[in-house]
């Protein structure tokens, strides 16, 4: 079932989104060489506690943390660990979520750790740009295929590939609601967007091939060819005034 949210409901989602944004700000500040991904999780937990928000990641199908931390060749769903120490030159995706009064926010950002190589910089910028192109189309009358095609055009146009096995989603009183939001087209097809629809759009863009694998822990999704991947996500409402990003700023 696809639900449309009222103005009051979107206001609660905006509050959840602000908590997610604050988690990101503090996690980004903490993500320096020598820090572990479990340290990043601890920073995010403090923000949730301070804001009186609940975690939508913790215990989700048994997930053990409040953020996903996905370095380098990890695409998504990396588990924070005291064994994963960030190094100069890494890139790191940090995916955060929060619940306020039963309403969810979900967003992700990929950042460089210290100075990174040129391809990694470009991968991050292109993935961010692919999300921005998609956000521009989160308006009444667009179709879901238009949103996916916008991501794909930017990513593939830059010589990268788009992950197809994992997609964005509707979001509201659950983190994952219908519809699924693929990061590929075709344009002109799929659900027509209407006022009150709220989507989490989350392009995952690979430097090499699009193929994925899941590690033995059952969570960690990696690129099959071992090359790097970037991931950006925002929670966005369709409003009569256009797209409203509920999880700004990162
Ligand atoms: Mg997310
Ligand atoms: Mg999501």
Question: For residue 214, what pLDDT is reported?
Answer: 98
| Token output for 53 | 């928000």
Q: How many whole angstroms from 235 Cα to the centroid of ligand 2? A: 8
Q: Would you identify the CATH topology of the domain 7-245?
A: Creatine Amidinohydrolase (3.90.230)
- In angstroms, the CA 27 to CA 7 distance is 30
Q: How many whole angstroms from 105 Cα to the centroid of ligand 1? A: 8
Q: How many whole angstroms from 141 Cα to the centroid of ligand 2? A: 23
115, with CB counted inside 10 A (0-12, 13-18, 19+), is exposed
Which ligand is closest to the CA of 78, given by its number? 1
Q: How many whole angstroms from 57 Cα to the centroid of ligand 1? A: 9
- In angstroms, the CA 168 to CA 152 distance is 13
Q: What is the CA radius of gyration of the chain?
A: 17
Question: For residue 179, what pLDDT is reported?
Answer: 98
Residue in the block written with tokens 């830059």: 158
Q: Write down the pTM of the prediction.
A: 0.98
Q: How many whole angstroms from 233 Cα to the centroid of ligand 1? A: 6
Q: How many whole angstroms from 33 Cα to the centroid of ligand 2? A: 27
Q: How many whole angstroms from 75 Cα to the centroid of ligand 2? A: 13
Q: How many whole angstroms from 89 Cα to the centroid of ligand 2? A: 26
Q: Report the DSSP beta bridge partners of residue 164.
A: none
Which ligand is closest to the CA of 107, given by its number? 1
Residue in the block written with tokens 């006022």: 195
Per DSSP, the residues of 178-232 read EEEE-S---TT-SPBP-TT-EEEE--EEESS-S-EEE-TTS--EEETT---EEE-
Q: How many whole angstroms from 215 Cα to the centroid of ligand 1? A: 19
| Token output for 225 | 């060819």
Q: How many whole angstroms from 182 Cα to the centroid of ligand 1? A: 14
Which ligand is closest to the CA of 181, given by its number? 2
Residues with Cβ within 8 Å of 55's Cβ and at least 6 positions away in sequence, in order, are: 45, 48, 66, 97, 98, 99
Which ligand is closest to the CA of 170, given by its number? 2
Q: How many whole angstroms from 20 Cα to the centroid of ligand 1? A: 10
User: In which element (H, E) is residue 109 found?
Assistant: strand 103-112
- In angstroms, the CA 16 to CA 103 distance is 7
Q: How many whole angstroms from 84 Cα to the centroid of ligand 1? A: 20
Q: How many whole angstroms from 164 Cα to the centroid of ligand 2? A: 14
Which of helix, strand or coil describes residue 235? strand
**Tens digit of pLDDT per residue, the chain (250 long)?**
999 999 999 999 999 999 999 999 999 999 999 999 999 999 999 999 999 999 999 999 999 999 999 999 999 999 999 999 999 999 999 999 999 999 999 999 999 999 999 999 999 999 999 999 999 999 999 999 999 999 999 999 999 999 999 999 999 999 999 999 999 999 999 999 999 999 999 999 999 999 999 999 999 999 999 999 999 999 999 999 999 999 997 5
Q: How many CA atoms does the CB half-sphere of 243 hold within 13 Å?
A: 21
Cα dihedral across residues 29, 30, 35, 38: positive or negative:
negative
Which of 209, 233, 229, 208 has the alpha carbon at shortest distance from 220?
229
- In angstroms, the CA 183 to CA 202 distance is 8
Question: For residue 8, what pLDDT is reported?
Answer: 97
Sketch the domain layout of the chain as residue ranges: 7-245
């Amino acid at each position: 079932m696809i639900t449309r949210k009222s103005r009051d409901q979107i206001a609660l989602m905006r509050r959840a989104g602000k908590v997610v944004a604050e988690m990101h700000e503090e996690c980004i500040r903490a993500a320096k060489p020598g820090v572990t991904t479990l340290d990043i999780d601890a920073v995010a937990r403090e923000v949730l506690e301070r804001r009186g928000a609940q975690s939508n990641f913790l215990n989700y199908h048994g997930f053990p943390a409040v953020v996903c931390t996905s370095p380098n060749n990890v695409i998504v769903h990396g588990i924070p660990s005291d064994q994963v120490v960030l190094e100069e030159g890494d890139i790191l995706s940090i995916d955060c979520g929060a619940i306020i009064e039963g309403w969810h926010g979900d967003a992700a950002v990929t950042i460089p750790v210290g100075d990174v190589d040129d391809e990694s910089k470009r991968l991050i910028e292109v993935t961010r740009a692919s999300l921005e192109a998609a956000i521009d189309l989160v308006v009444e009358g667009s179709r879901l295929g238009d949103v996916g095609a916008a991501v794909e055009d930017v990513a593939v146009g830059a010589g990268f590939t788009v992950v197809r096995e994992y997609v964005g989603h509707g979001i509201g009183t659950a983190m994952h609601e219908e519809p699924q939001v693929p990061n590929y087209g075709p344009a002109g097809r799929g659900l027509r967007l209407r006022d009150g629809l709220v989507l989490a759009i989350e392009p995952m863009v690979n430097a090499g091939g699009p193929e994925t694998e899941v590690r033995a822990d059952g969570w960690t999704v990696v690129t099959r060819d071992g090359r790097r991947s970037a991931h950006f996500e925002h929670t966005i409402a369709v409003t009569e005034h256009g797209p409203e990003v509920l999880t700004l700023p990162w």
